[in-house]
Structure 1
């Protein structure tokens, strides 16, 4: 391993090329941590270092794929904490749900097993609100005690988050370690560091491009990528975080129309003409469109996502949603002129 990384605590972040992974690496380095991050292809190491900037002198990039055992023993060697941010996602629509669910589950179990063998103190797993609040029967509000029911007709992605998180808790209980904390963020927005945008950020990109003339009448939680990264760091070392889940979201849910309005205001232009579909139109489209099929199950819901636990136990705070969305739009525009 790189001699510059010897001595003191060392943090492994899986998926350094990802949206949240990049922000998490950046935050760790800014706070003086030494960081190792994994990429599937070392040809992307320069991309990770470019996003980090001058602080990359305290960053080591290693190759490890969630779909294979090779590389994980080396990646976790000498590591004190693991932030398992990466999650495999197919580039195109899978032919079967197992193409999404199995890699997510097996990758999580693989990282935990390597962490245990290496004597890692604690693993912080990035799960999702999808594992909490996507059951068919709506609730007035959601807390960390809630779980999405695997029997409900959700997408493979939603089900993969449930399966992977449950597998993580089961693995730790069965093997007796390492300590585990889980972060369950709502839709993640915020400034981009470069590279491919996340699915949430892609919504803002589409609105900036005028490529989203019609939106479903849905409301959703928003989490700032910087705040989610901060919560990972808090959960990494706080004594009371071990064995706990933490929801991450702003103070209130917003609709797609709210998102469009904030995007327009943030770049100094009038809102684009965006039509909100009716419930009936969504149900009709759901017959042939898988995305609308999932939207149809959430019609009429305005999720109340309780984040009191993270705020109370860990002292976590979140930015205003308007700031998060505005920073997303402005950073996307800045990339165009860079």
Structure 2
């Protein structure tokens, strides 16, 4: 067993990584942005069923500053770098997201190299793989990189540039530090606390009746428990070194299909979930008056085919089906009392 640093310990994915590491017998150190988040992490770990957390140490380290990172990585064999800035809305300038993502990743890698860490597993995103492509004759996989065009969102740019910076750093200055990158699609699954991904927020909005109809959007689905497991497999498997792994339960699904999964699996709890699909022209019209819809426009009607073959064949990964991840999301929102008044 080893000592593992998990950055972003109070995050949706980070908390699940901590749970699985403790259950596997590892000692874990987790970073939080401020000391008040430590109790949140411990509550999430208990909610995840990891039992006594005496092997969990929580320290303060912010991706935007050097302070605390040398102490955070000291004595660790591996780092799971799951932390990443994700603002609730579109930033006024793309550099507000790009610079912290890139510099935060490099800050963690420098600290890991200096401390003699063996391997860093970096959580990147499908955003670094699947955007800016013309219609492809083959499924998107780890060999694909997003093409950053004038219409690329700040988030797509931030994830792509941060991952490229990580690979460049390890190649030029790594001095033996190993890097593995996980590129998840939309992460669903059981929430352990108040911090969760934008994918979870979509399910919550559907269940709360805040989505009247579904735009013609398609995306990949993966369960957070499977993404955490993939991080652990990538951390220890010798064949994973210097590799990327696309984490998706299967091919992409439509937003309407997710709504149908919720209705089929939740019964009366899903009575407010939409049943209709919006025509693209109506979404484009609405975007003239609602700026938050504008970032959806380039993706309307695009179907992206995905392949998770590499993670399955190299690491023996066997993810849950997408419907199980979506339903587990909804059930946990109900269990945690996170849905609106009904």
TM-score, length of structure 2 as denominator length: 0.93
> Aligned to 1:260, what secondary structure does the other structure show?
helix
Query: Partner of 2:233 in structure 1?
Result: 234
CA drift of 1:143 comes to 1.0
SS at match of 2:285: helix
Q: Which residue of 2 aligns with 1:250?
A: 249
Partner of 1:10 in structure 2? 3
Q: Which residue of 2 aligns with 1:52?
A: 45
Q: Which residue of 2 aligns with 1:298?
A: 299
CA distance 1:78–1:152, change in 2 (3 Å): same
Could you tell me which residue of structure 1 aligns to residue 116 of structure 2? 119
C-alpha change, 1:68 and 1:333, in structure 2 (3 Å) is same
Q: 1:261 & 1:93 partners in 2: Cα distance?
A: 29
**Which moved further from structure 2: 171-180 or 183-192?**
171-180
Structure 1 segments unaligned to the other structure (5+ residues): 1-7
With over 3 angstroms needed to count, the CA separation of the structure-2 counterparts of 1:149 and 1:287, relative to structure 1, is: farther
Over the aligned positions, Cα root-mean-square deviation in angstroms equals 1.7
Report deviation, 1:47.
1.0
Describe how 1:295-334 pairs up with structure 2 within 5 A: 295-334=296-335
Of 93, 96, 102, 2:93 maps to 96
Q: 52-61 or 162-171: which moved more?
A: 52-61
Residues 85-133 of structure 1, C-alpha deviations (whole Å, 9 max, x = no match): 0002235442110000000000000000000000000000000000000
Q: Which residue of 1 aligns with 2:73?
A: 76
| Structure 1 residue 286 displacement after superposition | 3.9
Matched residue SS, 2:238: coil
**1:236 CA displacement:** 0.4
Deviations 1:160-192 (A, max 9, x none): 000100000011011034100000000000000
Match in the other structure for 1:30: 23
Find the aligned partners of 1:147 and 1:36 in 2 and give their Cα distance. 32
Counterpart-to-counterpart distance in 2, 1:337 and 1:202? 10
Structure 2 CA distance for aligned equivalents of residues 273 and 82 of structure 1: 41
Which deviates the most, 116-125 or 41-50? Answer: 41-50
- Structure 2 CA distance, aligned partners of 1:175 and 1:288? 48
Name the SS for the 2:167 alignment partner.
helix
Q: Which residue of 2 aligns with 1:208?
A: 207
Return 205-214 or 117-126, whichever deviates more: 205-214
Q: SS where residue 48 of structure 1 aligns?
A: helix
Residue by residue over 1:232-258, the C-alpha shift from the partner in whole angstroms, topping out at 9 and shown as x without a partner, is: 000001001010000000122211111
User: What is the number of residues matched between the two proteins?
Assistant: 331
Q: CA deviation at 1:267?
A: 1.8
- Equivalent-residue separation in structure 2 for 1:274 and 1:152 (angstroms): 34
- Contact 2:211-2:274 at 8 Å conserved across structures: no
